[in-house]
Amino acid sequence: MGDRRPPPVPVRPSWFARLRALPPDDPKRTLLFALAVAVVCATVVSTTAVALRPRQRANREAERRVQLRDIVARLPGVEALFARTGASEVETLAIDLATGAPAPSVEAATFDPRKAAADPTAGVAIPGDLDVAGLERRARHAVVYVVKDGGRVEVVVLPVEGSGYGGLIRGFVAMRGDGNTILALSFFEHLETAGVGARIDDPAWRARWQGKQARDPEGRLRVGVATARLDPADAPYQVDGISGATITSEAVGNLLRYWLGDHGFGPFLRTLR
CB 214 within 8 A of CB 272: no
Do 163 and 32 lie in a common domain? no
pLDDT of 91 reads 85
Distance CA 121, CA 105 (A): 14
Cα–Cα distances in angstroms (integers) from residue 145 to residues 29, 63, 236, in the given order: 62, 16, 25
Question: Which of 92, 264, 268, 64 is CA-nearest to residue 162?
Answer: 264
Task: Note if the pTM is more than 0.85.
Answer: no
pLDDT of 133 reads 98
Residue 111 falls inside a structural domain: yes
Residue 9 falls inside a structural domain: no
pLDDT of 151 reads 80
Residue 2 falls inside a structural domain: no
Q: Which 8-state DSSP code applies to residue 213?
A: B
pLDDT of 168 reads 96
Residue 6 falls inside a structural domain: no
Do 34 and 125 lie in a common domain? no
Distance CA 224, CA 76 (A): 22
Residue 149 falls inside a structural domain: yes
pLDDT of 154 reads 86
Domain count, the chain: 2
Do 26 and 86 lie in a common domain? no
Could you tell me which residues are beta bridge partners of residue 125? 137
pLDDT of 26 reads 67
32's CB contacts (< 8 A; 6+ apart) are: 15, 19, 22
Instruction: DSSP for 19-59, please give it.
Output: HHHS-TT-HHHHHHHHHHHHHHHHHHHHHHHHHHHHHHHHH
Domain assignment of residue 24, given as a range: 15-49
Do 140 and 247 lie in a common domain? yes
pLDDT of 213 reads 98
Do 21 and 123 lie in a common domain? no
Do 32 and 87 lie in a common domain? no
Tens-digit pLDDT string for the chain (273 aa): 555 666 665 656 666 666 667 676 667 667 766 777 777 777 777 776 566 666 766 676 666 667 666 666 666 666 665 666 555 567 889 999 999 999 999 998 889 999 999 999 999 999 999 999 999 999 999 999 988 877 888 889 999 999 999 999 999 999 999 999 999 898 888 999 999 999 999 989 999 999 999 999 999 999 999 988 899 999 999 999 999 999 999 999 999 999 999 999 999 999 987
Cα–Cα distances in angstroms (integers) from residue 127 to residues 133, 134, 250, 252, in the given order: 11, 10, 20, 19
Do 24 and 147 lie in a common domain? no
Do 158 and 195 lie in a common domain? yes
